Amino acid sequence: MGTFNTKALYIYKFISQCLPIYAFYTILFIERGKSVTDIAVLIALWSVFTIVFEVPSGVLADRWNRRNMLAIAAVLQGVCFIIWFFSHTFFMFAIGFVFWAVAGAFTSGTEEGLIYDNLKSDGCEGDFTRVYGKAQFYANIGTIVGIASAGVIASFIEIETIALLSAAICFVNVIFALQIRERNLYSERVHEVSTGFFKTFKEAGVFIKGSKVALVSILFLVFFAGLGNYLDEFDALIINDLGLGNIWVSAILTVRFAFVALGDILAPMVQKKVSSIKQIFLLNGLGCALLAIFAAVWNRYAILIFGISFMVMAIAEILLVNALQNEIKEEGRATVMSFYSIGQNAAMICFTLVYALLAGIFTLQQVYLMLSIYGIVGGLGFYLLLRVIRVRT
């Protein structure tokens, strides 16, 4: 079958995020009569739908064909955007999020497991940080191209038509997803010993409970390292608050994802200096401190600091995912990652609801300052925690 061809993976990741609708779907919701609170609730529902499908899809990814699941996910996401093209009600936008949630559940854990097993089967699992980081780099470059082009495209076509264009891109990506080499070491093992569906789920749960490294890594990923991912849904609202035009929506998102992409590439180099989980916690806290500086300045000229803060957080996230992948031995990788994704989506629900509550009481600037302080305290808190408990880091 040959060695793992990472080119197919990188092309798939690039196209999967090269979707112009990312820059404007919150604006689309607003144009069709939805309030900021409605948007926050829709995003919370998206996370609820994802949680429902997360573990079943994770177990499926460990027992079936991961490559095919990525292809199906691309189709489902395209269906979401088609539904939004016709949507005018809260209910229909929520239905679209159901399809996107299933697509997200099909990819979370599946991609990481597919990459690690492909590398492991070639005896190159030590390259995971580099390959995974590079895959994330191409995904973020795709995001940059998508949102940067969106600002130009929106000058010629309506935002709802951008949704249709994004759907077409998803369907094209099915072709590239199917070019990735399929390797699933866990599936090969369980088929030999006839391990049941629920046994796979139980194995992952027992592993997380018994591994302090895995448990601490997942908890930090859920509550603090994922902060940047939770906030990107609301980036467009910063521009709205500053009273800038739609072109600045593309500008702030381009800066954010350009720096995140840079962080993906820098992660293997930073790994040589940041060798312990405790140091990763402090690194993430540094990213939140930079975000606090942006919140204190709060104008278009501080967008550079905004981008750097998410670059640092992206590096911390990749290093923690690598630590978690290295800890997994015989357990189903996608199922273990599903537990992480469930926690992340549960946190996303709470985060969006808290965001909506805070946005109704405080200014947006104050909200970002409070969230930054939360991240700083989390980084310092987990660092001190690991100094108290005995964890191999």
- Comparing CA positions, the residue from 122, 319, 308, 152 lying closest to residue 220 is 319
Predicted confidence (pLDDT) at residue 276 exceeds the cutoff of 90: no
Q: What is the pLDDT of residues 142-154, one digit of tens each?
A: 988 887 787 778 6
Tokens of 263: 């962080």
Q: What is the dihedral of CA 104, 25, 229, 64, to 10 degrees?
A: 10
Evaluate if residue 194 carries a pLDDT over 70.
no
Most confident range, picked from 158-162, 250-254, 365-369: 365-369
Report how far residue 348's alpha carbon sits from residue 339's, in angstroms, rounded to the nearest whole number: 14
Residues 137 and 260: their CA atoms lie apart, in Å, by 8
Please give the sequence-ordered ranges of beta strands (E in DSSP) within 1-87, or none if there are none: none
62 vs 201: CA distance, rounded Å: 10
Structure tokens that stand for 160 in this block:
């709802």
d(CA 120, CA 323): 15
Residue 391 has pLDDT above 70, yes or no: no
pLDDT tens digits, one per residue of 117-151: 888 888 888 888 889 889 988 998 898 888 778 77
Segments in 225-363 forming alpha helices (H): 227-231, 235-242, 247-271, 277-297, 303-327, 333-359
Question: Which residue, among 168, 203, 238, 231, has the nearest Cα to 328 in the 3D structure?
Answer: 203
The C-alpha atoms of residue 58 and residue 65 are separated, in whole angstroms, by 11
Q: What's phi and psi for 274, nearest 5 deg?
A: -100, 90
Q: What is the pLDDT of residues 1-32, one digit of tens each?
A: 567 888 999 999 999 999 988 877 887 888 88
